[in-house]
A and B are shown apart, each in its own frame.
Chain A
Amino acid sequence: MQETVSLTVNSKPVSATVEGRTLLVQLLREQLGLTGTHVGCDTSQCGACVVHVDGEAVKACTLLALQAEGRSVLTIEGVATGDTLHPMQEAFRNNHALQCGFCTPGMIMSALDLVKNNPNPTEREVREYLEGNLCRCTGYHNIVLAIIEGAAVMRGEKPPPNVHGVAAE
């Protein structure tokens, strides 16, 4: 059975016709063309599909599209402001916190959620928070550094010195 769902995605109102079983991640990827949100598993564990729904981090494979009716969704495509990257995106780039890039959108969306709730996380807190996001490339080492740097910039502080020797831009 087909139904219409209306919601806000990256600040734009959208409507789509979906089946009852259509997942939010399928709506985003297949009907709205927002392919930055990825699907890496079928058991809601990898975190590649993390988006924000009404400001909360949600795995987009755990929500039916119809459950997003009237809600506001932020995906990785909506994080930068025009050509200006969000400090967390910049921190991922400064710290080589991504390799193949597949887990990266979910990692960044989770990182933003962490910092919203804990603006000054310790390394341990970052590692524990990332339980729900799998990365197979980086060993998480540089992701942790990036999130700590991104959090500092978001707090309005000078970030810690870049351990890789990357010059600030």
Chain B
Amino acid sequence: MSVIGMPVRRREDYRFITGQGTYTDDINRPGQVHAYILRSPHASARIAGIDTSAAATAPGVVAIYTGKDMAADGVGGLPCGWQIHSKDGSPMVEPPHPPLIVDRVRHVGDQVAAVIAETLAQARDAAELIQVDYVEEPAAIDPVAALKSGAPQVHGEAPGNLCYDWHLGDLAAVDAAFVKAARVIKLDLTNNRLVPNAMEPRAAIGEFDRATGEYTLYTTSQNPHVIRLLMGAFVLHIPEAKLRVVAPDVGGGFGSKIYHYAEEAIVTWAAGKLRRPVKWTAERSESFMTDAHGRDHVTHVELALDSDAKFLALKVSTVANMGAYLSTFATCIPTYLYGTLLAGTYTTPAIYVETKAVFTHTVPVDAYRGAGRPEATFLIERIVDLAADELGMDPAELRRRNFIAKDAYPYQTPVALQYDSGDYFTTLDLALKAANVQGFEARRREAAGRGKLRGLGIATYIEACGIAPSAVVGSLGARAGLFECAAVRVHPTGSVTVLTGSHSHGQGHETTFAQLVADGLGIPIESVEIVHGDSAKIPYGMGTYGSRSLAVGGTAIVKAMDKVIAKGRKIAAHLLEAAEADVEFKNGKFSVAGTDRSQTLAEVALTAYVPHNFPHDELEPGLDETAFYDPKNFTFPSGAHIAEVEIDPETGHVSVVNFTASDDFGRILNPMIVEGQVHGGLAQGIGQALLEGCVYDKETGQLLTGSYNDYTMPRADDLPSFKLSTNVTPCTHNPLGVKGCGEAGAIGAPAAITNALVDALKPLGIRHLDMPATPERLWRLIQQHRSPLAAE
């Protein structure tokens, strides 16, 4: 029986439920010393001097390094992986990003010095003895204010704090559509800044082998080869052949562990200097002030409709906060992962978007679960809901009226993407039914009887996943290819090792990929071993982000299996003395059609490695094939999410009483794992809508939400049990028909929740509210709208 589509229990679970996982901080190397990073307490300051003399003689201290030491050694800056061009054709501004700062700090948490000592406690004690002469300067914190004249400047290279001023779409067509529109809906909104908060803090161990001259970096990464390339080629100038990067068990990423971080370069460089392994692990407060944050957009959006409530045009203007430096993929998030998604699920014929990316004295911002697509979905689904309200239409009906037709695929949007498949009507209907929307008004009345404001909100979404066709993204400024690799190594007795460039940090690849291979090669799942996360073991792979692992990494595995089967067929034909064309492979056996003669995969593999009777003229020995797969298009998962909330007007507290998600991920290999991915995404999306918000003091740039005391993570009792269903329209351009499921929850939920809140608050005359809808914010809003006096 095929294991495809089965809820196979995860093979990785045993080590985690017994405490035997190996995360980076669980690793200790012989002779290891510890690094503590002294960080800036100021958002913006010039460094007049650093006195390390007292610290250098403190107990256990091995070395103290500053940016001058690294610069003197020729260490480069952390590179940005995507070049955006402005409207006028000029390239974005890329200021230097040294691993340790030299003369100026640009955000609270910026790296000032590295103290290396025998124990972490000694390193930390010594760091307190370092005297840094900071000359504080005004800080630019609010991204909109940072663009205004007279704002404090983050980098001399970037006048007006502008990184780029980008646009996409046909402005003339959009303006013409607005002129003839029957109705124009306008909205200003923010997409709140988030802190990713993978439960495992980042960690890194650098090591240098003086016998071989080889460096090893153990790090909490979603993509070890990308780190090897960036750190090796751009920062430390170590050839790939002398640099191994290992990402062992990694405790969640959500995007934040894609990027190359300063600490990775610091420990690797220091290990080379000291000839001892150097370990660094973030404290949670360091995670808050150094992990790349997410979102942080300020947007004005206008939607034009005709008299039949058909969307004519969408016009979007966004200010996107980059933070103090450009993180690895920061620049593509508010552009090509955002503007290209603004058609959503709709036929809007004309779209124009412009994005100003701005430097501020805050932590860098980059991709966080969804990455641009939640921001696009939030603004589309908010303005569509507002339009329905202003037109007095059923929000579901307005959406249906503008959905892309079921028979319109492939569908070319006005913002570059071509959707290959989808069926938004069925997905929405599934959600409406599962959420019992028909019975909602009765539930609203019942809640009102208890003094509660109950609301229901719908959001549909589209995302572009399976990132990405290399030629396409290259033409848009990507400085990397976005293929994936896989090697399928059949051993002499028939067991199989699969080497994959996709990295698993919670996604369950060791299970899903094994299902794929067990099915493809017709062998027991127990015979398949999945290996990932070590640049010394696996071919050059691009890693895990953008819901790409199965669509891109899984397809690479399929391609490698195809090669194994093709070679196996030739070997079997030789052994069976049959024509290759007559040999078919099924259920793990090569058989001669119409006969009972066959060879198992294991028999063929043994022949391949003990090639006594072997077609040497035609084939090389061995059964070990590698494939690289570069996708032809993005994949386009879609869905409809419905939230039902109750607000207690006396306290502003929100209960999410129901949450229904109906998603189309294409074909599904392990439904249990897919549901788990949706659950997690929904929790992060609901967190963004109701609880999570990164707050800086607008004057001083101090991070006010720097710990779990101040930044509200979703807890078990903040969330409901989720109702999930799936609709399947297979992806047309990968052999698995899969689309990706990792980000969907975080994309649909913020808009669904906010729409539900606005629906609940409509009787008070409230038409919009920004995220997070904390009890305080809601209570104040309700008070203001209840009594004009209270607004004073």
Contacts and interface: CB of A to CB of B under 8 A. Distances in A.
Contacts of B291: none
B252 A164 contact: no
Interface string A100-137: 11111100100000000000000110111011011111
Contact of A85 (B18, B121, B250, B679): B18
A166 B6 CA distance: 9
A96 B10 contact: yes
Contacts of B505: 100
A40 B13 contact: no
Interface string A128-155: 1011011111111111100000000000
Interface stretch (B399-407, B522-530, B709-717): B709-717
A159 interface: no
Interface in A34-71: 34-43, 45-46, 48
A43 B252 contact: no
A80 interface: yes
B200 A38 contact: yes
Interface string B1-21: 000001101101111111111
Nearest to B254: A136
Nearest to B20: A36
Interface centre among A45, A98, A124, A142 (most CB of B within 10 A): A98
A93 B10 contact: yes
A76 interface: yes
Given A139-B722, A140-B716, A141-B721, A100 B285 contact: no
Nearest to A133: B716
A98 B16 contact: yes
Contacts of B546: none
A126 to B, nearest CB: 7
Interface residues of A, number: 59
B26 interface: yes
B680 A166 contact: no
Contacts of B284: 40-43, 46
Nearest to A126: B716
A131 B252 contact: no
Contact of A39 (B25, B252, B507): B25
A89 B18 contact: yes
B76 to A, nearest CB: 32
Contacts of B675: 96, 142, 164
A96 B724 CA distance: 15
Contacts of A77: 18-20
B708 interface: yes
A104 B672 contact: no
Interface centre among B16, B20, B22, B201 (most CB of A within 10 A): B16
A39 B52 CA distance: 30
B25 A76 contact: no
A84 B10 CA distance: 17
Interface residues of B, number: 60
A103 B714 CA distance: 14
Contact of B199 (A19, A21, A42, A134): A134
B719 interface: yes
Interface in B511-569: none
B323 interface: no
A32 B754 CA distance: 48
B285 A130 contact: no
A37 B26 CA distance: 10
Contact of A139 (B14, B249, B682, B707): B682
B343 interface: no
Contacts of B17: 76, 85, 89, 92-93, 98, 101, 104-105, 108
A100 B198 contact: yes
Nearest to B23: A102
Contacts of A98: 10, 13, 16-17
B19 A138 contact: no
A137 B254 CA distance: 9
Interface centre among B7, B10, B12, B283 (most CB of A within 10 A): B7
B569 to A, nearest CB: 34
Nearest to A36: B19
A164 B18 CA distance: 22
B272 interface: no
Given A36-B18, A101-B506, A166 B707 contact: no
Contact of A141 (B26, B200, B507, B722): B722
B294 interface: no
Contacts of B482: none
A16 B48 CA distance: 45
Interface in B8-46: 9-10, 12-23, 25-26, 28
A131 B19 contact: no
Interface centre among A34, A101, A164, A165 (most CB of B within 10 A): A101
A15 interface: no
A143 B19 CA distance: 17
Contacts of B254: 136
Contacts of B681: 139
Interface string A1-42: 000000000000000000101000000011000111111111
A41 B252 contact: no
Contacts of A165: 6-7, 671-672
B200 A40 contact: yes
Nearest to A130: B716
A166 B671 CA distance: 11
A128 B680 CA distance: 18
Contacts of B707: 41-43, 45
Given A40-B199, A42-B707, A93-B10, A80 B18 contact: yes
B764 to A, nearest CB: 30
Contacts of B713: 134, 136
Contacts of A21: 121
Nearest to A108: B17
Contacts of A100: 198-200, 249-252, 505-506
Nearest to A146: B17
Interface string B197-211: 111110000000000
Contacts of B673: 96
Contacts of A40: 199-201, 251, 284
Interface string B231-256: 00000000000000000011110100
B683 interface: yes
16 contacts: A37-B19, A76-B17, A85-B14, A85-B17, A85-B18, A89-B18, A102-B23, A127-B719, A134-B715, A136-B199, A137-B252, A137-B506, A138-B680, A139-B745, A164-B7, A166-B672
Given A101-B17, A131-B715, A136-B197, 17 more contacts: A35-B26, A38-B200, A38-B251, A75-B19, A89-B17, A93-B14, A94-B9, A96-B673, A99-B252, A99-B676, A101-B249, A102-B23, A124-B717, A136-B199, A136-B252, A141-B722, A164-B671
